[in-house]
Structures are given as structure tokens and as C-alpha cells.
Amino acid sequence: MNTLKRFIYLMHSTWLLQKIRRSKHAATRQIAQQRLTQLLGSKRGIGMKIGQAMAGMDDQSHFTELTQSVQAWPLKDILPVLEHAWQQPVNNILESIEESVAAASLGQVHKGTRNTDSGTPEHLAIKVQYPDIRQAIESELSLAALLPKAGPVKRWDFDLNSYQQTLQNTLNDELDYSHEMKQQQRFQQHIHVPGLKVAEVCPELSSAQVLTQQWMHGQRLSEACNWPDQARLKAGKTLMQTLWKSLFEIGLVHGDPHPGNLLFQYDEDQPQVCLLDFGCMLNIPFTRRMSLLNLILGLRGKTTLNSFDAFVGLGFDAQKLEPIKAELDDLARILFRPFLQPEPFDTAQWQLSKQVNDLLGDQRWQFRSASPADLFLVLRTFQGLVHQLESLKVQLSWPDMLDASVGGQYIETALLWKFPKAAHEPAPTYKGSAKSLHVHITRAGKSPMKIELTAASALDLHNLIPEHLLPQIMAANIDIFTIEQDLHESGLEPQTLLDITLEDKHYHL
């Protein structure tokens, strides 16, 4: 019964998400957003994490309450968890412990106080995992695998299994507070940036379900936005240097940059940025880090630009990139435009989505489907930085900050970087002279949609066609599966595979 309830909950969440995306009226969209917030906040786990991701980087989002004010469990229900982890009564260790003022998706934080050997009170942040959350997460992950492919995910052959595995690995890491403690200690040991503060952990009071550390105080991003110009500028530099140094030097990046994980302490000489919650950390392999840095340096003219090999080095599928290979240099210039401008860059003028759409059109999905499943987590960190700079009303020179943040040995390595041989392997070959599959969809009064895929995509033709259209196509005496079989046997030769009008659209393949 609990499994059934969670499946209905996931389906209801999906329906509300679609309603928000498709609604043409602000009032309807706002009602759906409010209902989704209530639904996601009613259950801990994946749903609440989705809501927090939707709140994104905006402190004023409809989903912000999922990062600030979700109802916490009462302290009386949390104390047994602490006593089990510490193997003794809580009052043997703490002078006091307060009710949690807010909850997160996997656990909640309580403020506690203990006396040190010197007699000075020490304030602690004690993060406690919900007792039933691991079972709930495992249940939701298994149910999420049952949700059907649809839209661009199906049409462009996204590897949903890899996305689900990435989500599962990330959540498993977040559920292990001992792992989080080690990540936090490593980050604190290696990342030294002016103005950055990372809390000291208390290993003796930490376990797989409890993480105890120094209590951090400060203002939220929305409050720091009102600081004087110089203080905001210094805070912005701290945020950018932290990302560049953690990404390129040790490959350990904070992967959850929503406002609830940042606190700001005002100081006229050097404001402090407190980074919280190291549960979602991205471990970026050295090969990927150097491929990315080589690409940026190539775009800046410091080494030979090789966008295709660089993207493959980042984990992209070489075969899927082939149809847009000629556009990759221009695409890279759009994606990394802030690094190409020596003067301070105004991110509000970037218009990233519009530029990518103007360049690739519907083939932007080809690029996205070619990307590794974990890339969306890295993109979140960049998105977080952009929002933080815009909120602080700060403009910085990205190339200058990169050069100032990353050690010279990493720059030198990237300049001389040799891409793995896999980046040069040719795509698999098939019988036939056809090079690409063209999909044209026209609708009265609308601009035609034109998609270009690799010719081999035709061998999996039935998966390119939306499920609701397959019965109509079969009813018109067109057997998609027979067409596929003929292509496998006869080869991929130039021909028309499908030419049909269904509902209000004409499809020509």
C-alpha cells in the first residue's frame, strides 16, 4: 500500500509539472505551482529534492519554502536517533538542543550547545537523518524507473538508465553522512580562498545517520544583495574562485548551490561566504577537468581549438555528436562566452538558451542526448554561480578570475593535453550510402520542424515515433517494424521512410 501511494504521488507530481510547463495563463500556473509545492513538501525524499531543484537559485521562487520552512519532525522523535548513534543519553553530551526550525529532503538540523574543556560554550549544528528515509528513497527510485519515456527524452534517445543511476549514486552518497563528513574535510583541507568558510566537523559525534559540526550563522543571499558595492564584489570573487579552484584543481565540486546552502557574514574588509551541506558533491575525473580547461584555453586562443575531441573528453557520445560536428566550435563559443571576454561580463546579457536555439534549433536535443548523464549536475553549479553574481549585482572578468584561481601547473597540463584515443575512434559503420536521417514535421500556420540524426537512427525507427502515433501509422497500413527489418537486411540507402499526415501534422522521414 505504501508503494502504491508513492507511485500515485510520483504520477501526480509529474502531472502537475506538465501543467505548469504547458499552462498559458499565469493564474492557472500559479495554482499548479502552489499545489505542487504542497505535494512535494508533504513527503520527504526524491519529490522534495525535485521541489528544491525547481526552487533553484531564486530566494523568491514559488518553491522556496521547500528550502526554508518545511515542517520539521519534533525533537522528541529525533532524540532516539541521536542516542542510538551516540550510544548514550543526549544530555550526557549536550547542555541543550533546540527544536529544528526547518527540514530538508533527507534530514533536519538542530542547534545544540556543549561546554568545551575551557568552559566556553560551543554551538553545534547537528544534522539528523530521518529514520525511514532510506527505505522511502529506494522505493521511489524503483518506481521512477517505471515512468514512461516521452517527448524529447524518447525522440532523441536519452539514456534514462544512466540518469537514474546517476540519481541513485548521488542519493546514496547523500544518505551516508560519514561519506559527507569526509568530503567536507577534504574540501576544507584543499580549497583555500579568501573569504571562504567551511565548518569544522566533529568526527566523534558523527556517524552514517548523524553529522555534527560547528554552527554557522549569517545572512541569506537575498540579504547580502543589499550590502555596499565593495562587499558584494568581494563576496562574488569568493564564490567564483571557490568554483574554479574546486573544479579544476581537486575535482570536488559542491553540487547543490541553492540559497539554503549559503550564508554570508558582513565584514567591510573581507566578507565571509559560509558554504553548507556537502552531501551532494561532484567528483570530476582528471581527464574531464583537463578536457574542459583545454577547451576554454582553446577558445581563448592559447592552444589549438578542438571542440569535438574536448566534448568527447568530457564524456559526450562521439557518434551522437557527429551530425552537429560542424557547429561545435560555434556552440562552444556560446556556452563559454564569459571566458572569452576580458572585461567584466554581464551575465544578464548572455541569452544562452536563445543563442543555442538559434544555432542548433531542434538539434539542441541531439547535443543534450549526447552528453553524459551526470553533466546536468555540473551545469547546476555554473547556473548557481551565474544566479549568485546576478543577485549580488556583481560583474567579474571570468578569464582573469580563472587565471588567478587555478594553479599554473594545471594550466600548463591543459595546454599540452592529449585527448584519449577513444575521442578519435570513428563512429560505427553500416551498410548503405545514406549519411543522415532527416525528419520534417509541418503543421498549418507553423514553421516546419527539421531534425537531422545519424542514418543509423533509422534502425530504431519505432522508438523515434511518439507512442500515441504508432497505432495510427499501423492503421494506415504502414508497418514500421517491417521498414526497420528491411533496413537491417538491405542497408541504409537514400529513400523515403515515411510520408503521412496524422491529426494536424505532416510527417516526412
The 10 Å CB-count burial string (b at 16+, else e) for 294-317 is bbbbbbbeebebbbbbbbbbbbbb
Q: What is the pLDDT of residue 165?
A: 78
Residue 152, SS3? helix
HSE-up of residue 303 (Cα within 13 Å, Cβ side): 20
Question: b or e along 120-150 (b: 16 or more beta carbons within 10 Å of the residue's beta carbon)?
Answer: eeeebbbbbbbeebbebbebbbebbeeeeee
Specify the pLDDT at position 55: 47
DSSP 87: T
Residues 6+ apart with CB under 8 A from 96: 112, 113
How far apart, in Å, are the Cα atoms of 225 and each of 81, 221, 269, 381, 430?
Answer: 38, 6, 17, 19, 57
Matching residue, cell 599540452? 416
Q: Please classify residue 35 by burial: count the beta carbons closer than 10 Å to its beta carbon, then call 0-12 exposed, 13-18 middle and 19+ buried.
A: middle
Which secondary structure element, helix H or strand E, spans residue 126, and what is its range? strand 121-129
Would you write out the chain's pLDDT as a tens digit for each of its 509 residues? 554 555 555 555 565 556 555 666 666 656 655 555 555 555 555 555 555 554 444 544 544 554 444 578 899 999 999 999 999 999 999 999 999 976 777 889 999 999 887 778 999 999 999 887 887 777 656 655 545 555 555 555 666 677 777 777 888 888 899 999 999 999 999 999 999 999 999 999 999 999 999 999 999 999 999 999 999 999 999 999 999 999 999 999 999 888 889 999 999 899 999 999 999 899 999 999 999 999 999 999 999 999 999 999 999 999 889 989 999 999 999 999 999 999 999 988 888 889 999 999 888 888 998 999 888 888 889 999 999 999 999 999 999 999 999 999 999 999 999 887 655 555 566 788 898 888 888 888 777 777 777 888 888 787 777 767 777 888 888 888 788 888 888 899 999 999 999 888 888 99
Beta strands 436-443 and 505-508, pairing class: antiparallel
Predicted local confidence at residue 400, as pLDDT = 97
Q: What is the largest CA-CA distance in the chain?
A: 86
Listed by start position, the domains of the chain span 2-68, 148-198+221-427, 436-508
Which pLDDT value is given to residue 295? Answer: 97
Q: Output the CA–CA distances (angstroms, integers) from residue 131 to 79, 124, 210, 331, in the order listed.
A: 11, 21, 11, 46
pLDDT for 25: 65
Record the cell numbers describing residue 304, joined without a space: 589549438
pLDDT of residue 456: 83
Q: Would strands 272-275 and 196-198 be described as parallel, antiparallel, or unpaired?
A: parallel
Q: Please give the pLDDT value at position 166.
A: 78
